[in-house]
Structure 1
């Protein structure tokens, strides 16, 4: 009998070991941010978390037990500045940032887009889009030269989905900012900015959007494989974008929709609609 070969040495494929990442946006265990953070931790990285309020810190206390959690409401510039000062005082270098923050006020129900109020739109823009720029500016000196910033977008900003309300234009602004952040940061670093453009997900936040569940069920019918995108699939793509393995990718939105965008005219779906119209 020949001697067996020794077990291969594990490879840190994602290159996270010994590095620190900031993850913003964990609300519960269904959050995309939480799934991304778990992958980072499982791959040897250290994660610092930010949550929007003390009440959110309390509600995530069990989930984020024994982890560093900092309160940072991105609507308040002073809290963003304080976050940067705290990290700087501890000489923390960030290998990456996960920006998984979004908010839209649908408290009055889903209304036609032209009835969106100025307050609703500007608040959503501030929290969901501009906050990326504000946070990155504040943290610019804490980023490693080749750090990676990843935000969460949507699979298309051109689909006038009534169940998503006025958030698609907000996400379009977020996506556009990736190119401008990449360009401006290139003056002094190689920090990369990308997004994961996710299809419809089953999260606690999405469940609160009027009409979203029906759209989610429709997506499952349109997706070629017959089942919706999983949060873990989005997280895995985000982890890749955070890693040095994606060093040649910047200012991009990687679509993760399980092929939904190529299958809107699926025969079964078309048939169901035309049959219903005949009835």
Structure 2
């Protein structure tokens, strides 16, 4: 191949526009997704929750278009859609990498979750996907792809994750309903990357998460945790026309952790500790 010739666009994303919501810093899943998208020739538009977050990303996202949108405020979601529509933007994809849970007193038993905590978390982390997509529906390409970030299992009662697993379950369930309702007027697809434990700044702030992350490395067959770029690459595939037959699905990226909970070495370590 002549070095001056463009590389073959295997993913079919070059020249398209994707909105990425949720970049917090360079370790964010959203940022890694955006970097891969940009490397394939995608025009990435960034949406962040506040002016202060935008300011903190000034160097990281230098020269990029950044729009403020706090998903707790419907007016800002509507303003985001109006801004994009007014300049003729057409979206081939949306990345929804937004989650928030308030643990003011650390992780408490699930039955002690307060109404305020739960409703705020479900508003930001789950419902926001639905209301953002509704507001953006007129500027989605007919075959656009929407990808959100979930967790590898919503049935595992992981104490270190607090009350977020039920929230993520609601997010995951909404994929089928969004796919069905959008199918009345489009072929927009809705999928999730169900990620295993990651080393991100957001996860590090969850009480007890680091210990769970270290445990995951012991249980994963290959002996090392899932990397953020592995999750990001899967998201980019789901955003591309190469995944056109996939919708209303959660693709698990956990490096095989879910098949190996009874690894002999881990079981032996636990039983030996009980004997001691």
The residue that corresponds to 1:95 in the other structure is 92
Aligned mate of 2:81, from 79, 84, 89:
84
The residue that corresponds to 1:35 in the other structure is 32
1:163 matched to 2:163: no
The two structures, once aligned, show a CA RMSD in angstroms of: 1.0
| Secondary structure at 1:61 match in 2 | coil
Superposed counterparts of 1:263-274, under 5 Å: 263-274=260-271
1:14 matched to 2:15: no
Aligned mate of 1:275, from 264, 272, 275:
272
The residue that corresponds to 2:203 in the other structure is 206
Where structure 1 has 5 or more consecutive residues not aligned to the other structure, the ranges are none
Question: What TM-score, normalized by structure 2, do the two folds share?
Answer: 0.98
The residue that corresponds to 2:246 in the other structure is 249
1:144 matched to 2:150: no
Aligned mate of 1:220, from 217, 222, 227:
217
In structure 2, the CA distance between the partners of 1:50 and 1:277, relative to structure 1 (3 Å rule), is same
Q: How far is the alpha carbon of 1:156 from its aligned partner?
A: 0.1
Where structure 2 has 5 or more consecutive residues not aligned to the other structure, the ranges are none
Q: How far is the alpha carbon of 1:6 from its aligned partner?
A: 6.3
Q: How far is the alpha carbon of 1:247 from its aligned partner?
A: 0.2
Q: How far is the alpha carbon of 1:9 from its aligned partner?
A: 6.2
- Aligned equivalents of 1:31, 1:105: Cα separation in 2: 19
Runs ≥4 residues deviating over 6 A: 5-9
The residue that corresponds to 1:111 in the other structure is 108
Aligned residues: 275
Q: How far is the alpha carbon of 1:10 from its aligned partner?
A: 2.1
- Aligned equivalents of 2:131, 2:2: Cα separation in 1: 50
| Secondary structure at 1:255 match in 2 | strand
- Aligned equivalents of 1:33, 1:61: Cα separation in 2: 16
